[in-house]
Structure 1
Amino acid sequence: MNMLYGSRRETYRQLFVDYWQRFRAGQPLDAMAQRVVDVIRVHPEYHALLENPDLALEADFPPELGQSNPFAHMSLHVALLELLATGQPPGIVHAYERLRAQQGEMAAQHLVVDCLGELIWQAQRAGREPELDALLPCMQAAEGRKKS
């Protein structure tokens, strides 16, 4: 799972800023830019940050201070949309539709985003690529959880 942005923090942050600026200026967007903008639009709590490029590119979000990284969060949403669009891993679309029917759109997305975040964290700790085969069992376990 490439997460589409590369490894440099500023590179992927700049994409979010650029796509948001293009959207707000009414400029055309390709499919990937549209997915990113769709994620940004449902996260209004991040709009002010994206409209301040200097802050967006330089800000730190230390977890020990209780801050979550909005770019990591939105990247996981974009990754989910990509996985759904490609149907990978097999069965994800059906599993996601079940979650969505049970939880609602955003709650379902956030449950899967939590699963993706956990898979990535485990992969980083082990020094390997994320194992997407573990995503479906995590999603199935999430079916019993309440909306957040």
Structure 2
Amino acid sequence: MFSSDRQTHRRAFVDAWAKARSGQPLDPVEAQIVQIVRMHPQYQNALTDPERVLQRHFVPTSGDENPFLHMGLHIVILEQLSIDRPVGIRHLHQTLIAVTGDPHTAEHRMMDCLAAGLWRVQQDRKPFDDEDYFTCIQHAAAGR
């Protein structure tokens, strides 16, 4: 599932969704993917057209949201929460849930911070900065 190859990453989402729709048993990773897809009905139709969506180039500057990036960030957040890495992320998540009243909204705020941190890694060619990530989440919880 966690591949640096775009096609393999995308195929995991398409295949898991196809298995769920046809009632086939899912392995734990597929079940997690399907849980996230179910939370995002706006992406479900795209996943039923693999030939088109697997080849599509999403251009964020034209307002073209990449469903695979979005749902992949959800998976990263869920993994971070499951192992509490970086240490303290669960506590920050609980704080955000208290502020937003909704775990999904809390994840989205965390994802904004995660995406910003990943963008900085690409731009600056430096390691991911957990401290900046936490500060961003704390600001999101404070409404800043």
TM-score by length of 2: 0.92
CA–CA separation in structure 2 for the residues paired with 1:135 and 1:27:
38
Q: SS of the counterpart of 2:75?
A: helix
What are the Cα deviations for residues 71-93 of structure 1, in whole angstroms up to 9, with x where unaligned?
11110011000100111111111
What are the Cα deviations for residues 46-99 of structure 1, in whole angstroms up to 9, with x where unaligned?
000001111110112112211111111110011000100111111111110110
Q: SS of the counterpart of 1:17?
A: helix
Gaps in structure 2 of 5+ consecutive residues: none
Instruction: Quote the sequence identity (%).
Output: 36
Q: Does 1:58 align with 2:55?
A: yes
Partner residue of 1:95?
92
Q: How many residues align?
A: 143
TM-score by length of 1: 0.89
Q: Which moved more, 1:49-58 or 1:22-31?
A: 22-31
Q: Does 1:5 align with 2:2?
A: yes
CA–CA separation in structure 2 for the residues paired with 1:31 and 1:134:
31
Q: SS of the counterpart of 1:145?
A: coil
User: Which of 128, 131, 136 lines up with 2:129 in the alignment?
Assistant: 131
Partner residue of 1:21?
18
Amino acid at match of 1:9: R
CA–CA separation in structure 2 for the residues paired with 1:111 and 1:86:
19
CA–CA separation in structure 2 for the residues paired with 1:24 and 1:99:
32
Gaps in structure 1 of 5+ consecutive residues: none
User: Which of 18, 33, 36 lines up with 2:33 in the alignment?
Assistant: 36
Structure with more relative contact order (C-alpha pairs < 8 Å, separation 6 or more): 1
CA–CA separation in structure 1 for the residues paired with 2:124 and 2:68:
23
Q: Which moved more, 1:100-109 or 1:79-88?
A: 100-109
